[in-house]
């Protein structure tokens, strides 16, 4: 079953290739420097680009149908992650629920008939312990499922808010070799992250 989920995830992620967005400075306007974005042959300002995404609308879409806020924000690559998380957490919760019900039935049979030996071979106290463990695990994964729902809500809302984040074309982050000095070890080679503004 997990293989089908993996294949579906690959199918959804493959078409979600980012489009090229060119950000340039516009110095022709009288009011000063503003950023404009050239996308698919159209030129729009950063304010117009950000105004197309309303955070409340993204939040509402995600609340009604999980993942739709990500689609509204045009982050299609997040959709398999959202549904994959729901699938995984719900499947584990159902597995623990099945085990809980199985051992609960064995516990009831042992309590009703004092001489009964269950197929698992557990005693009554062991069955109580195992039943309680599987119930707690099931409840824990159901809580995680609810938290995953909240995470995808927050993701859609924050992503819509960050559309108007200042786009800086000179911003570059790179990972490269570096030499660091330590009073204990002397010079040591390593890797460093360089951020250029």
Q: Where are the domains of the chain?
A: 2-174
Q: Do residues 189 and 177 touch, judged by C-beta distance below 8 A?
A: yes
Please tell me whether the overall predicted TM-score, pTM, comes out greater than 0.85 for this model: no
Q: Do residues 86 and 145 touch, judged by C-beta distance below 8 A?
A: yes
Q: What does DSSP say about strands 42-45 and 34-39: parallel, antiparallel, or unpaired? A: antiparallel
pLDDT at 16 > cutoff 80: no
* Alpha carbon distance 52, 164 (integer Å): 10
Residue range 24-48: average pLDDT? 58
* Alpha carbon distance 55, 51 (integer Å): 10
pLDDT score at 175: 80
Q: Do residues 136 and 100 touch, judged by C-beta distance below 8 A?
A: no
3-state SS assignment for residue 31 = coil
Closest CA to 67 of 148, 8, 142: 148
Q: Do residues 156 and 59 touch, judged by C-beta distance below 8 A?
A: yes
pLDDT band at 43 (very low <50, low <70, confident <90, very high): confident
pLDDT at 47 > cutoff 70: no
pLDDT score at 169: 66
* Alpha carbon distance 116, 103 (integer Å): 14
Q: Do residues 72 and 156 touch, judged by C-beta distance below 8 A?
A: yes
pLDDT in tens, 78-125: 999 999 999 999 999 999 999 999 999 999 999 999 889 999 999 999
């Amino acid at each position: 079953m997990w293989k089908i989920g993996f294949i579906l995830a690959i199918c959804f992620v493959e078409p979600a290739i980012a489009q090229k967005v060119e950000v340039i400075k516009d110095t022709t306007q009288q009011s000063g420097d503003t950023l404009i974005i050239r996308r698919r042959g159209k030129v729009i300002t950063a304010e117009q680009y950000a105004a197309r995404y309303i955070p409340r609308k993204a939040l509402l879409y995600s609340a009604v149908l999980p993942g739709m806020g990500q689609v509204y924000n045009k982050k299609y690559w997040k959709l398999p992650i959202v549904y994959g998380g729901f699938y995984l957490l719900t499947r584990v919760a159902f597995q623990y629920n099945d085990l809980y019900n199985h051992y609960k039935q064995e516990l009831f049979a042992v309590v009703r008939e004092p001489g009964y030996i269950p197929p698992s071979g557990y005693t009554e106290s062991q069955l109580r312990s195992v039943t309680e463990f599987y119930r707690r695990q099931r409840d824990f994964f159901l809580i995680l499922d609810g938290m995953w729902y909240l995470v995808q809500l927050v993701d859609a809302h924050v992503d819509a808010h960050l559309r108007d984040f200042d786009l800086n074309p000179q911003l570059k982050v790179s990972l490269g070799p570096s030499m660091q000095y330590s009073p204990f070890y002397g010079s040591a080679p390593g890797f460093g992250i360089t951020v250029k503004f």
